Amino acid sequence: MINALESSSLRPYLIRALYEWCTDHGFTPYVAVQVDDSVQVPREYVKNGEIVLNISYDATSALKLGNEFIEFKARFAGTARDILVPVGRVVAIYARESGQGMAFPAPVPGEAGPTAKTSPLRDASRGGGDGEARVVHLVTDGEETAAVEAPSDAPDDEPPRPSGGGARPTLKRVK
């Protein structure tokens, strides 16, 4: 049986739904993208093979959340840039203010172009390789996006300790 979160046709619908939820509640929608040659973004803003993009109405123009691509124009350091992201390269969408959102399995090599560097989001969103879907909650942690997981022997009610410091979201596995 195919895992619903790994279905390439479901991802664009979930992205659009979470985008709508964010905007309806006054939140700022962000997408985390695993960058490879198929992703058209300013490379100088890519860090560890990933880029986080603000896709809010105020930050973009001509935003199109399609089934194959997310396309828009945005300003980076005052310069307008065309952005093109294959939907399969999106590894998370979340609200900046609350950290609520959804992470997706990282692209498998050969699915959406060449493989980018391993993402900290990859391990937390994939689960233990048992095919079981994982629900994650993005929480504000630091300057970098890092996976936050409770050790397997930690009690369920004890929150995991984030690694690093700052104001960027991280992933936490919800059991």
Task: Summarize pLDDT for 137-150 with one digit per residue, the tens.
Answer: 454 444 434 333 33
Residue type, 78: G
Cα 8 to Cα 31: distance, rounded to the nearest angstrom: 17
Confidence of residue 75 (pLDDT cuts 50, 70, 90): very high
Helix and strand element counts for the chain (H, E): 2, 10
Domain spans of the chain, in order of start: 4-174
Phi-psi category of 140—alpha, beta or left, where left has phi over 0 and alpha has psi -120 to 50? Answer: beta
Position 172 pLDDT exceeds 70: no
Q: What is the pTM of this model?
A: 0.61
Does residue 137 contact residue 156 with C-beta atoms inside 8 Å? no
Cα 80 to Cα 32, 41, 45, 60, 75, distances in angstroms:
20, 11, 14, 10, 4
pLDDT in tens, 88-124: 999 999 999 999 999 999 887 655 443 333 333 333 3
Q: Which CATH architecture has domain 4-174?
A: Roll (2.30)
